[in-house]
Structure 1
Amino acid sequence: MQKTLFISDLHLTPKRPDITDCFVRFMRTEAIDCDALYVLGDLFDFWVGDDDDSEFALKIQAEFRQLTLAGVPCYFIHGNRDFLVGRRFARRTGVTLLAEEHVVDLYGQKALLLHGDTLCTQDVRYLAFRKKVHQPWLQWLFNRLPLFIKRKLVSKIQQDIRQDKQHKAMEIMDVTPDEVQQRLQHHSVSLMIHGHTHRPDIHRHSYGTRVVLGDWYEQGSVGVFTPNGFTLEKRAF
């Protein structure tokens, strides 16, 4: 059966072995039989850099390596938690890193893929933070810090993020409809697939269809695209 799989917002961390176990099962029993796997960001709860040599980081990379060595193409778009995934990660895993907006042909239908954070234009504070941390010079500097210092900085950033989200209205953290329409028209497509908002659904509008992938906090979430269309499916922990 022809199928392409999509996942996002797993937020993998050693603190949640239930999520990791579900991910490993998915990679070994489902992804191994698909035409291609797309990871649309936030694979990790936070990726401190490609120099992370922890047992956990190596385990996740090994799963991707096993998949790509088996001949399954795997593609990755950065999220807001793993924007530091880089070339070393790609070399070790065989994963192909894509631009933050990528158009793909899915069995004759073109689709725009992205993480989804840039669609949330009302979240002004986050977008300002995103612009700052995506500056090449700052990433260059961060990547050259000792690993233990980077982990401390990331821990502080995660704490700040949790506190900030507690004071935001849910509407601010959702996409802006006009932005969705603009992106679809810019790329001349009628299908968009993204994650980030943790609100899995398939939205159909006059200007196109928007598929939102689910997070992996309470169960696994997989987007399955076949020549017959798209379905959102859950996987139990």
Structure 2
Amino acid sequence: MDFLQLAGKTIVVFGLANKKSVACAIGRVLAGAGAKVVHVVRSEQRADTAAKLFPDSPVFCCDVENEDNIVRVRDEIAARIGAPLDGIVHSIAFANYSEGMQPFHATLKRDFLQAMDISCFSFVAIANHFKGLLARQASLVTISISTTRMAAENYGYMAPVKAALESSLCFLAKSFAAFSEIRFNAVCPGLLKTSASAGIPNYIDSYLFAEQATLRKRAVQTEEAANAAAFLLSPRSSGITGQCLVVDAGMGLNYFDAAIVAKAVG
């Protein structure tokens, strides 16, 4: 039984970097469900990686920091793939930690605005420029984090950027409702082992702590986030829009885990 009803659907996935990427895991789940997956990556090097991981999927290049590239890749996809597109995945984030971790109040304006442009506004721009290719009931899914209200020092200014991304869902859903039933949602996983997370200072310590705070004492897996994304992309989630689906295996409700408290006060 094709429960997700994704067979034959065409889904564009932005953001694959390597086999550990959330975008890669989503692509695998979608392909396994019978969807036609189209990958859009940042560079030719990543295009080679995507082609090896998904030999049956078309691959395009687009550095979303330049909005003209989004227009170009839309036209390339329209010419090669056609319309309608049934969904888009936005799995793109960037923060410049090249100068090391700084306290939040010392965030450089250029770094904050660049992160906002690439990690948040690109989702708005992709939605806007691709709207003419989208099916009337298409689904757009972005990847956020399990909470933007936890001031993790080593995550720096990215939590406010992700908060802006999540807020954008509501406004996109409302504005697109004027002419379609296109839905906008976010998958918000707990800490994952991805190539992007490896660039966050002291991430492994945060990951190990999160694993202990998780109810099952086992970290959330990237495939679990991918499964949630596939559901939100599918017609089975037709009544869900403007929402953030948290996938953290209970970490967010387990602040006072007895084992963690004992270590802190022991």
Q: TM-score, normalised by structure 1?
A: 0.34
Larger relative contact order (C-alpha < 8 A, sep ≥ 6)?
Answer: 1
Question: What's the TM-score, normalizing by structure 2?
Answer: 0.32
Q: Higher strand proportion, which one?
A: 1
Larger Rg: 2
